Amino acid sequence: GDAIAISILEARDFSPEDFAKNHPGGKLGKSFLKVKDLMISGPRLPIISESTDLRDAIYEISHKGLGLTLIKNNKNKIIGVFTDGDLRRFLSKKVNIETIKIKSLMTKSFKSINQNFQIKNAIDQMNKNKIYSLVVKNEKNQVVGLLRMHDILEAKII
């Protein structure tokens, strides 16, 4: 039975992508999901100003519960990220959380991915860079969301 089905699929040029479209709930179908299908966006997205102090940054990370916050400048452009891992590293240095500004602590060279890329591309990039989150951008290079490995695992893609 399977051999006949495969022969028919090959004769009709039926690709794995075609199969995924017809079976979106299966493992193959989920692997063709796009980043925008799983990304966090809108009001759930943690964003703070570069002039925010560390205390308020901690609040934003805790309040949104995503393990990080994005940092924007006065032109609303995302210029960095600050993660709970960054927080643990800086707290061991005895900094004053009420006076130090997040701009001096943030990671400026964050990794990003286009919202139209497939989830498998995001997984590859996260594994390659040993990170758990990617900033998501649109075609105009504007930040539109955040994708976490946690969300990929929760969707049972891997």
pLDDT digits (tens, 9 = 90+) for 123-139: 999 999 999 999 999 99
SS3 label, residue 114: strand
- Which pLDDT does position 158 carry in this prediction? 75
Please tell me whether the overall predicted TM-score, pTM, comes out greater than 0.85 for this model.
no
Residue-wise pLDDT tens digits, 40-53: 999 999 999 999 99
Per the prediction, the chain carries an average pLDDT of 88
| Percentage of the chain modeled with pLDDT above 90 | 70
CA–CA gap between residue 91 and residue 102 (Å, rounded): 13
Q: Which domains does the chain have, with CATH numbers?
A: 1-32 (no CATH), 33-154 (3.10.580.10)
Sign of the alpha-carbon torsion through 14, 116, 158, 24:
negative
User: What pLDDT, on a 0 to 100 scale, did the predictor assign at position 143?
Assistant: 96
